[in-house]
Amino acid sequence: MVKYLGLHETLDVHELLTFKNLCLTKSSTMSALVQDEELKTILANDVTTGQRHIEKLQQFLTNREAQ
């Protein structure tokens, strides 16, 4: 992998990170409001998946080491 991201790549990752944070906030907020257990399970799975995606995107922005 290249040691550094280009400016446009950094901006794209930042945009994706912002979107995933918004999705995570919405899923976690809505899971407290729903009463259907199946929908709660879907939202809980979305929250855990979203957290993993956010961590991975943050690694692209903070981990500048060659892999």
Spatial distance between the Cα atoms of 26 and 43, rounded to a whole number of angstroms: 9
Give the predicted TM-score (pTM) of the model: 0.80
Domain extents in the chain? 7-62
Alpha-carbon span 32 to 52, nearest angstrom: 21
Report pLDDT for 60. Answer: 86
Tens of pLDDT, residue by residue over 17-53, are 999 999 999 999 999 999 999 999 999 999 999 999 9
Residue 46: partners with Cβ closer than 8 Å, 6 or more residues away: 23, 27
Q: Is the pLDDT of residue 66 over 70?
A: no
Q: Helices in the chain by DSSP H: which ranges?
A: 7-31, 37-62
Q: How sure is the predictor about 2, in pLDDT bands with cuts at 50, 70 and 90?
A: low
Q: The tokens 């999705």 sit on which residue?
A: 23
